[in-house]
Structure 1
């Protein structure tokens, strides 16, 4: 009987542990890693300061970020903006430079309606496969297009497909960017069939209906989730259900810059600052420079009380 009780207790413990870490990429493996718990204890699971890498919002707050990648496109971006305006939700759009040129009015509308616009490169390449000089050029060209359209610059960045490495993240930080990750995806993108990493399952998932897209999001949501959606018609049709269901569950939608001010060691970000201010248009210090970085700065460190509150959620 004692052995059975121990076995049952062990299974219950593993079940609880799996439930606790199931939103982490490494699952149980991470839960058994001291470095995993160290990262969580100092807040690096939310934000990696050396790389300016925003990995997730705070677990203590019932809020999520809605992000949309790969636009703008004509019809679906218009539909997304109309839905977001009707629902009173502000999102963060990670846009591709060559598509901005085709739809400048949509970029202006994003800014006018209170959304944030981030850099998703000029041509949407797999950054980890190209020289670092070309990565810089991709970011510069995309930002230049945005400046020409809006008179503002970009301070948020998401690598296409999150195909990145430490050198890319360090470069982005040295250019004044916060790199924004994601942790809840709808698998709503259209894969490149020639990409050897694209599996049959990925191709099948890309054919999802609006209901399937919405269900994938709401079934995996957590406090602090960074939701990844893509600029396409089925996703636009899924937006109302995503918004309504998550609001019914008590979640609040915030932009990425808002979420950054709520993490354990808050970061103040101006997502799209005007460039006519000399200090914002100036060259950005490198990642090894501890001086204040234009367009974003670290806020005061968390208090003992906030750290104690956070520890209760570990």
Structure 2
């Protein structure tokens, strides 16, 4: 069923459930974005509705916002708060996403330049001082000269905030019964770019057991770091949600915190991610520099 038909089916009920009212708005907004993305000409966002009229207008929606009880009206307000917060968090995650990609590329560049520097000194019979961690180059992201280890710490700081944001976003999505599709969330799209499963090289295919062992080790590293961040962040965000809901005489279900953290971890695990090499090389640095800050 297409979005227009689904909206018409829900709207035909006349008296909506709180979740249905939010779903209509979400489908409406998603349809406009999809139609706008299909054309190459840049359109002023303030004029978007002139080009892509909504499937249901604000006036029509207001006429539909009739609930069975005052309690359902309060539930709608809370769903709307959660949906708006989720959208704002997801939009904000773009900054972390791009910064992380830039830092990953800088780490690769630092490693490459370090190897070249090592080879040049070896050929000239010059002494090699320091390690990769001590290697210094100009960081365009941070706009100053930094060591490899400093750039690595900068990446983990960005990584830390993105995972916190993902935890918040997925928790809100759990509260909204999965209103936002996983493939629609930009924060997870960036995470997949950061941690793309590498293809097997011909040599690795010949030594698949060894490669599998390395992947298992990477996944263990991945699970430990993600769990560490989420376990610290999740209770704090649940506390914020409770405060917001209690202000409108609403409360979370009894096992919401436990069930939502399981949903977050399962969703991330189902992405089938694997740690990029720079992260695995830096996992000890991460534990030393970040455990006290999580």
> Normalising by structure 2, what TM-score?
0.22
Taking CA–CA contacts closer than 8 Å with sequence separation of 6 or more, which of the two structures ends up with the larger relative contact order?
A: 1
> Normalising by structure 1, what TM-score?
0.21
Max radius of gyration: which structure? Answer: 2
Q: Which has the higher strand share?
A: 1
Q: Which has the higher helix share?
A: 2
